[in-house]
Amino acid sequence: MLNYAVKRLGLSVVIVSVAMLLLFSMIYLIPGDPAAVALGPRATEAMREALRIKMGLDKPVWIQFWNFFASAWQGDLGREVLSDRPVAQVVLEQLPYTLALIASGIIWSVAIGIPLGCWAAVRRSSFADRLVGVLSVAVIAVPSFVIAIYALLIFAVTLRWLPAIGAGEPGDPGSQIVHLILPSLAVGLGWVGYIARMVRASMLESLEASHIRTARAFGLPDRQITYQYALKIAILPTVTLLGVGIGQMLSSAVFAEIVFARPGVGKLVYDAILTRNYPLVTGAVLVTTVLFVLINLLADLIVGALDPRVRSGF
Amino acid sequence: MFAADSDAVGAFRRIFAEPLGGLGIVLVVAMIAGAVFADLLAGADPFRISPRDRFLDPSLDHLLGTDHLGRDLFSRVLHGGRIALSVALFSTAASLAIGIVLGLIAGFGPRWLDNILILLFDAIKSFPTVMLALALVTLFGPSLTAVIVVVVLVNVPGYARIIRTQTLALKSAEFVAAAESMGAGTARVLRVHILPNVIGPLLILASMDIPVVIAIEAGMSFLGLGVRPPTPSWGAILNDGFTAIRDTPWIAVAGGLPIILTTLGFTFLGETLRDVFDPRLRGRG
């Protein structure tokens, strides 16, 4: 297990480094002088030159990359252009909002997806099973930003049941939760479909297993067999699926934050692009990428710990 | 009688036999027809601004109502289909071409090149899609080019990996060794012996990715990072609807509905295609 964990961690470090290289080449290729963009049209040539030296832009490209690379690994992502605050600090301030949104999205998808998948698996090939199948495909197919807009339109604007914008009053958990309901539904609804499908497929497999047949032979109640014995095994692939899922939910969260005007990393990057605050853009993209890689690493390690076959395949 | 099942007509019949496959075909054909014959079907000019007619509800004159500039939404939706369809076709074709070449190189080339390519694919895949799109827009500016580059970057690693795996498996097959011993060069082996064997599953996967591509175009245009106004795109219409959501619900409905219907249509069709032609791919969706 340790061997597997070390190899898997090493791979993650390499992947993040290559991602940094790609991101750096992207910034480097942006047309125009970053110093001129940062200082605006009224700056003198001397001021621009001074900032260029301060930002290290006068050095050869490979030294610039090394500086970017070395400081990024130490958590220094540079300073943002507008308020001159450290990028890492600005991004980390916004991160909890995005994580809360994703976590609530997961709650939606697990709370609806797992029972739905079980329910369909037990009624295999019935009309109900087919209906769950079609609905799962449908919610997977429809993009989250359309779901977000329609949810806003129906529940906030037309019915006025739930608030339309913001993240709620600071220090008032009740209002914060109410403000989370619609955005997290938009983030999580597609994953209800993925999880229901996955749980259904693995439940069908585990319901055929011999220890389940034995339990049946002993006359245990169906409900106990399904939810206590079969589901326990069937839930494993869902963990890996969620590892990939969180990355996609991160994408949906960007849209949900913009549609519902919530604070968060997605809103931060979007606003930073509109104001050409490039250090903030690259910093936030880097942080979310590292987060994504870490979550996948964690999911792989959990599954590796639970299932020895995964470790040997590496 | 049974022979008919193996040709194209038979395949088509088998897709139609599945209720969802039939629905998928109907939705996809409707979307393509709407996009191709947009000028004939819509009547109204999608660009014509008419301030007196702003925010009209749906009526016989304007089937989906009008937007904040008084433009006919039905016409804009049909013309938006052209953008969605052409981006989907062009960028999928580009991703397939690049994916096939890189996959063959990784599978047939030297080991070190294979390792570098795999690492590169994994690194690209480690960016969440929207973050990649946002970062690339800083480079290209909001444009169709940016949309196409994002789609290609998102799709290529998956396609190349499939081609690579299949190529590795075929590399040591007897018929490939036979061709090589008869003096066939690498290019000929790849083109004549390997490619025809790996392309089938790839095309099915690509057809299943089309709704994702349409969603990326609509999503980027929704954020104002894709197609520039006043060009009609479903995402841009949805954004107009979002801005005016307290004035009228119809713009948002008009922008969202075609996105929902076409993604559903292509998904149902793709799933049926996969089940009919290559059930082994099940589970990768």
Listed by start position, the domains of chain A span: 96-313
**DSSP assignment of chain A, as one string?**
-HHHHHHHHHHHHHHHHHHHHHHHHHHHHSSS-HHHHHH-TT--HHHHHHHHHHHTTTS-HHHHHHHHHHHHHTT---B-TTT--BHHHHHHHHHHHHHHHHHHHHHHHHHHHHHHHHHHHHTTTSHHHHHHHHHHHHHHHS-HHHHHHHHIIIIIIIS--S--SS---TT-HHHHHHHHHHHHHHHHHHHHHHHHHHHHHHHHHHHTSHHHHHHHHTT--HHHIIIIIIHHHHTHHHHHHHHHHHHHHHHHHHHHHHHTT--SHHHHHHHHHHTT-HHHHHHHHHHHHHHHHHHHHHHHHHHHHH-HHHHHT-
Which pLDDT score, from 0 to 100, does residue B167 have? 86
Q: Which pair of structure tokens corresponds to residue B30?
A: 């409707």
pLDDT at A77 over 80: no
Average pLDDT, stretch A182-196? Answer: 91
Q: Residue A269: which of B134, B260, B264 has the nearest Cβ?
A: B134
Task: Report which residue type is found at B220.
Answer: M
Report pLDDT for A282.
84
pLDDT-derived band at A102 (thresholds 50, 70, 90) equals: very high
CA–CA distance, B74 with B207 (Å, rounded to integer): 27
DSSP states along B34-70: HHHTHHHHH-S-TT---GGGTTPPP-SSSTT-B-TT-
Give dist(CA A230, CA B108) in Å, integer: 44
Cβ of A201 and B283 within 8 Å?
Answer: yes
Question: How far B281 CA sits from the closest chain A CA (Å)?
Answer: 14
- Residue A15 and residue B123: Cβ atoms within 8 Å? yes
- Cα distances (angstroms) measured from residue A133 to each of A128, A196, B183, B259: 9, 8, 51, 21
- Reported as a pLDDT band with limits 50, 70 and 90, residue A38 is low
The pLDDT-based confidence of A310 (bands split at 50, 70, 90) is: low
Chain centre to alpha carbon of residue B24? 15
Give A-chain residues touching B238 at CB under 8 angstroms.
145-146, 149
Q: What is the pLDDT of residue A312?
A: 64
CA distance B49 to B71: 5
Q: What is the DSSP letter of B7?
A: S
Cβ within 8 Å, pair B131-A29: no
Tell me the C-alpha to C-alpha distance, in Å, between residue B84 and each of A150, B46, B231, B257.
20, 16, 12, 14
A115 burial type by CB count under 10 A (0-12 exposed, 13-18 middle, 19+ buried): middle
* Cβ distance of B123 and A288 shorter than 8 Å: no
What confidence score (pLDDT) does residue B196 get?
A: 82
User: Could you identify the residue written with the tokens 């980027």?
Assistant: B220
Contact B245, A151 (CB under 8 A): no
pLDDT in tens, chain B (285 residues): 444 445 667 777 777 777 788 888 889 988 888 888 878 777 777 877 777 777 777 877 777 777 777 788 888 888 888 989 999 999 999 999 999 999 999 988 888 999 899 888 888 888 888 888 888 887 778 888 889 999 999 999 999 998 898 888 888 788 888 888 888 877 888 888 888 888 878 888 888 889 999 999 999 999 888 888 788 889 999 988 888 888 888 888 888 899 999 999 999 888 888 877 766 665 443
Count of other CB atoms within 10 angstroms of residue B39? 13
Cβ distance of B242 and A19 shorter than 8 Å: no
DSSP single-letter state for residue B194: I
How many Å apart are CA B110 and CA A271, to the nearest integer? 45
Instruction: Give the model's confidence band at A34: pLDDT under 50 very low, under 70 low, under 90 confident, else very high.
Output: low
**pLDDT score for B280:** 62
Q: Cβ neighbours of residue A77 under 8 Å, at least 6 residues apart?
A: A71, A86, A87, A88, A91, A279, A282, A283, A286, A287
**Top-level class of domain B14-281:** mainly alpha
User: Which of A12, A199, A148 has its CA nearest to residue B130?
Assistant: A148
Q: Residue A166 pLDDT more than 90?
A: no
What's the mean pLDDT in A164-189?
84
* Averaged pLDDT for residues A114-119: 90
Chain A residue with CA closest to B246: the answer is A157
pLDDT, position B285: 37
Q: How far away is chain A from the Cα of B222, in angstroms, using its nearest Cα? A: 9
* pTM score of the predicted model: 0.85
Which residues in chain B have their CB less than 8 angstroms from residue A149's CB?
238, 241-242, 245, 252, 255-256
Whether residue B230 has a cis bond before it, omega within 30° of 0: yes
Looking at the DSSP bridge assignments, the partners of residue B72 are: B66
Contact B158, B205 (CB under 8 A): yes
Which of A91, A251, A268, A297 to mutate: most B Cβ within 10 Å? A251
Phi/psi of residue B230, nearest 5 degrees: -90, 10
Interface check A204 vs B, CB under 8 A:
no
Q: Among A20, A131, A142, which would you mutate to test the B interface (most chain B Cβ atoms within 10 Å of its Cβ)?
A: A142
In whole angstroms, how far apart are CA B225 and each of A77, A272, A274, B221, B222? 25, 13, 10, 5, 7
Place of tokens 């000929």: B188
**B238·A146 Cβ contact <8 A:** yes
Closest Cα partner for A130 from A202, A209, A200, A194?
A200
Interface test with B, best of A25, A135, A149 (most B CBs within 10 A): A149
CB contact at 8 A, B38 and B75: yes
Is B134 within 8 Å of A254 when comparing Cβ atoms?
yes
Residues in chain A: 314
Closest CA to A87 of A265, A241, A210, A259: A265
Are residues B223 and A150, on separate chains, in Cβ contact within 8 Å? Answer: no
User: Rounded to whole angstroms, what are the CA distances from A148 to A144, A178, A186?
Assistant: 6, 15, 5
Decide: helix, strand or coil at residue B72: strand
From A108-112, A228-232, B109-113, the region with the lowest mean pLDDT = A228-232
The residue type at A37: V
Nearest-by-Cβ selection for A153 from B126, B134, B252? B252
d(CA B233, CA B227): 7
Q: What is the pLDDT of residues A234-251, one digit of tens each?
A: 777 787 788 778 878 888
Q: Does B267 contact A137 at a Cβ distance shorter than 8 Å?
A: yes
CA distance B176 to B157: 25
Q: What is the ipTM of this complex?
A: 0.84
Segment A266-276 mean pLDDT:
86
DSSP reduced 3-state for B247: coil
Which residues are registered as beta bridge partners of A86? A79
Tokens 């209800």 correspond to A192
Residue A62 has pLDDT above 90, yes or no: no
Q: Which homologous superfamily is A96-313 in?
A: MetI-like (1.10.3720.10)
What letter represents residue B215's amino acid?
A
Backbone angles phi, psi at B278, to 5 degrees: -150, 75
What pLDDT sits at residue B156?
A: 94
